[in-house]
Amino acid sequence: ICAGHRGIRPIGDEVRFSYGTAGCRDHAGRLPFVVFRMGDLAALRARAVEKAIEVMLTASHNPEEDNGVKIVDQGRIAGWRIGVTTVSQNYALVNATDD
C-alpha cells in the first residue's frame, strides 16, 4: 500500500500496532506508515458511502512523541466501527505486509 509514498517505509513484521476505540496510538516516528494506511481506508470508506470521512491526528495531553490517528465517519469517532469495517479489520489493515 505504501510503496508509492516517498520516504514512508513499512515497519518490520515484528512490530504490531493496536487499533481500538481511540484509534491507533504509538511513537510519532513510527506513525507515518500507519497514517497512510488509515488514509487509504478512509478513502475507500468515503467512496463506498459517497460522503466525507475524516482522518484525525491526535496528541492531546500525551507526551510529545506519543501521537495517534483515528478515523471519523460521518461525524462520529469511528474506532469501534467504521461503517462496514470493524476494529479487527482495521487492525489487519494496519498490520498487513506489503506482499
Is there a catalytic annotation at residue 18?
no
Neighbours of 2 (CB within 10 A): 17
**Which residue in the block uniquely carries the three cell numbers 506513525?**
31
C-alpha cell at 98: 506489503
Written as nine digits, the cell of 95 is 498490520
88 backbone dihedrals φ, ψ, rounded to 5°: -65, -35
Integer Cα distance of 42 and 46 in angstroms: 6
Active-site residue, selected from the candidate residues 12, 16, 60, 99: 60
Residues known to be catalytic: 60
